[in-house]
Amino acid sequence: MASLSGSIQCRSCSPKALLPEAGAAVASKLGRKISVFPTPSRSLLPLLLRSSHPRVAVVSQLGRNELSKTAHASVADVSVEVSLDDAELPKGETWSVHKFGGTCVGNSQRIKNCANIVIKDDSERKLVVVSAMSKVTDMMYDLIHKAQARDDSYVFALDNVLEKHRSTALDLLEGSDLSSFLSRLDNDISNLKAMLRAIYIAGHATESFTDFVVGHGELWSAQMLSSVIRKSGEDCKWMDTREVLIVNPTNSNQADPDFTESEKRLDKWYSRNPARTIIATGFIASTPQNIPTTLKRDGSDFSAAIMGALLKARQVTIWTDVDGVYSADPRKVGEAVILETLSYQEAWEMSYFGANVLHPRTIIPVMRYNIPILIRNIFNLSAPGTKICHPRALEDEETPKLESYVKGFATIDNLALVNVEGTGMAGVPGTASAIFGAVKDVGANVIMISQASSEHSVCFAVPEKEVKAVAEALTARFSQALGAGRLSQVAVIPNCSILAAVGQKMASTPGVSATLFNALAKANINVRAIAQGCSEYNITVVVKREDCIRALRAVHSRFYLSRTTIAMGIIGPGLIGSTLLEQLRDQAAVLKEEFNIDLRVMGITGSRRMLLSDVGLDLSNWRELLSEKGEAGDLDKFVQHVRGNDFIPNTVLVDCTADSTVASHYYDWLRKGIHVITPNKRANSGPLDQYLKLRALQRQSYTHYFYEATVGAGLPIISTLRGLLETGDKILKIEGIFSGTLSYIFNNFVGKRPFSEVVAEAKEAGYTEPDPRDDLSGTDVARKVIILARECGLKLELANIPVESLVPERLRTCASAEEFMQKLPQFDKEMTAKLQEAEDAGQVLRYVGVVDVANRRGVVEMQKYSKDHPFAQLSGSDNIIAFTTKRYKEQPLIVRGPGAGAQVTAGGIFSDILRLASYLGAPS
């Protein structure tokens, strides 16, 4: 039996196609005019299939007797002459083009949604390109694969295809539209069964047969959508684009449109099928020989762009299932944002480097005529989408917006670097040609090239699956040069990824590369190779595969996050820490919206449990999360986690404890580039050598260490002192009531009240530490004195400060606070005598700390002040500090206000956080 082959001939095909004897025999048999042409395959059973076009007749399968008479047979399509009044195709901005992907037409309801969008579009004329229903193209390819593998299940798989479209049509259509569609569907399925049977027997399918089979999904979805739109009263027809769109397949698995021929055929088609709304099949086309073909993957987008160019349409809208084009893959970068606009070149570059934008070839047709492409989400019509257009259109927009010079970032994984180097390459013409000629010979795809200006080495990236063949080809090609030492090596570096930064404005903006590489350096990413075109639309770097996501996050954050995005770790969620967290919760949204300060608490840790987050904790329920999802506390792990988020530009640790062990880590944290903010007095009042080492590091680095709340809680004591010193004033003396607890006690220790009663009252009100001896000992005041003394340049140790303790010597060894409070009344007589002595002299008692800068000493003691002295005017737990300086010698500079309590202390810490943000670039 003869081996026969064939292909489809569209109604609009040229009648001058080759007509073998088999075709003539069929023509004679049918008594009709047909056009027949051979295909390269001679291995399939003779079949005559018809296209799904409604005007094409079909001959299903010829009997063996007829086939035996022929040397060749062709799959033919019968053209029927139709006499219609010609209509001229109008072109220009009256046309809008829509493209609906497979997800958009995935079921009957979604097809209705597409119809509604088309109907609501008030454009004068509309052309709509549709893909096959979701998964149908894959199902059609699967049919081919099963048939080629002689897997009988292709029959059941085809039944599934039939049922999917039958059930959808039953939901959507009715009456003659339904019966007509189902009739065509049944005929198509019958013909596909015959063709798949032939493929099953032959065990092989030609490319043209495959393209014919897989293109049916678009035919069916276009017919259904056009029927739905017609039901609304719209003037709508559907187009089999194989009759119009002519492309030249290439060896690179692509297709080049023949715009001249396609325009002629579109004009001819429209003259016979005038309509204000046209539903066209995506993905499928024909060759110049009228052989059905496809535009390969992403072909429907390409179809829409080609049709938009042919019509010179106003706009092409690509409907999909995302809100637009992201600045980076949102699965890898949680901070990725939807881009409002992209230039054609930016979209082109991003899609080349793997971003889910559009295939680069989709952009070429619309670029010719400056037709904008709009990417929109069919499932979120409120989202404006991303507009891709000529850069001049972006520049001309009325309200220019401040945005990153780098528009987006994309990555390509599973690559390997090939490095060819040697002194013999320098200045030798043809070396690069020989290298890439060898690469071409093995069919490998070169993703990126980097060459040193010395020509000592050429480095390029290829897919990892192709690198072995490339390396072997290069080694063979340059075996003589390698043996002679002119080339030193052909080296392969596996497990690589490419990271590309893309942006139109990069070309005219100094410092983009510096910013990019600075972000990578801060994230501790090593760059293996670099490439940048002279157009500067992209900067490409090669990194290790395991570093790729971290690198992507690092560079994206540097260009897209605010410079004042700060990763925070809160140490000590006690009274002060929890109050700070509440303040952060209440104010974070305002700071982000009004001041562009983005504060993210990445972790909270106590001594026993800690809570970590990769994106920032929800502070509305952090206590519950810490209790339910917290893990064992580990300070080193905590710090590493908070600092490890390389995609956030800045890291700060806020120590809300009074722990000397935590304070001992400050130096190491600052050295690693972590900012530190704290009310903890231990570091600044600890051993002098450690303090001096810490301050020296702070001055040498760009890392900040703020500790305003160590003295005076929320009062601006440290900042006031710094301001005086930095403006050249000379500090003579600092004297003050530094303890809110002792301020309260002495403000209320008046008249006949026993001292112990006032202490008990302060304890009950929560002003004292759990053990009041911690306040009455004066040690806390002494630490504040030391801090201020050291700020003034005095090199004092805590042991150098004389402290008058208010804890009776015999009570210092009490086993508990309760025992101390029980025995304290025994010593009221002594304190009452001192109070009476002061009152008799018209004075008051106050517990103060003094920094005597002139005499280079400090002291903590109880002193008497006249009743008209500022220190005598205090109430409650207020602090008051007097600065006597060269400028403020006659009348000291006074700072007064609440000096105790969780709210004011947390407020002081919060103020330091905002000061850090201002240092990092936040608006003042």
- The set of catalytic residues is 784
| E strand or H helix that includes residue 644 | none
Within 8 A by CB and 6+ apart from 412, the residues are 353, 354, 447, 497, 498, 500
Question: What distance in Å separates the CA atoms of residue 181 and residue 187, rounded to the nearest whole number?
Answer: 10
Residue 783 near residue 777 (C-beta atoms within 8 A): no
CB atoms within 10 A of CB 250: 9
Q: How far is CA 540 from CA 32, 326, 448, 497, in A?
A: 61, 18, 8, 10
Q: What is the largest CA-CA distance in the chain?
A: 138
Pull the structure tokens for residue 96. Answer: 């809008």
Residue 709 near residue 686 (C-beta atoms within 8 A): no
Residue 461 near residue 540 (C-beta atoms within 8 A): no
Question: What distance in Å separates the CA atoms of residue 611 and residue 604, rounded to the nearest whole number?
Answer: 5
Q: How far is CA 843 from CA 356, 733, 746, 834, 837, in A?
A: 79, 22, 12, 11, 8
User: At residue 421, what is the residue type?
Assistant: E
Question: What distance in Å separates the CA atoms of residue 327 and residue 338, rounded to the nearest whole number?
Answer: 6
Pairing outcome for strands 878-885 and 731-737: antiparallel
Query: Which residue's structure tokens are 């048999």?
Result: 29
List, as own/partner pairs, every contact residues 26-32 make where C-beta atoms lie below 8 angstroms and the sequence separation is at least 24, other chains included. 26/59, 26/62, 26/66, 26/73, 26/76, 29/66, 30/59, 30/78, 32/57, 32/78
Query: Which residue's structure tokens are 């004897």?
Result: 21
Angle, CA of 181, 183 and 189, to the nearest 5°: 100
Residue 535 burial class via C-beta count within 10 angstroms: exposed 0-12, middle 13-18, buried 19 and up:
exposed
Residue 752 three-state SS: coil
Written as one string, the DSSP assignment of 536-577 is: -SEEEEEEEGGGHHHHHHHHHHHHHS-TTEEEEEEE--SHHH
Residue 900 near residue 709 (C-beta atoms within 8 A): no
Residue 646 near residue 523 (C-beta atoms within 8 A): yes
Question: What distance in Å separates the CA atoms of residue 891 and residue 361, rounded to the nearest whole number?
Answer: 78
Question: What distance in Å separates the CA atoms of residue 906 and residue 713, rounded to the nearest whole number?
Answer: 8
Q: Closest by alpha carbon to 360, among 219, 538, 117, 549?
A: 538
Q: Closest by alpha carbon to 404, among 556, 206, 589, 595?
A: 556
Residue 533 near residue 555 (C-beta atoms within 8 A): no
Helix/strand/coil percent split, the chain, to 5: 45, 20, 35
Question: What distance in Å separates the CA atoms of residue 129 and residue 304, rounded to the nearest whole number?
Answer: 6
Residue 158 burial class via C-beta count within 10 angstroms: exposed 0-12, middle 13-18, buried 19 and up:
buried
Q: How far is CA 755 from CA 104, 313, 761, 849, in A?
A: 81, 90, 10, 20
DSSP at 869: S
| E strand or H helix that includes residue 455 | none
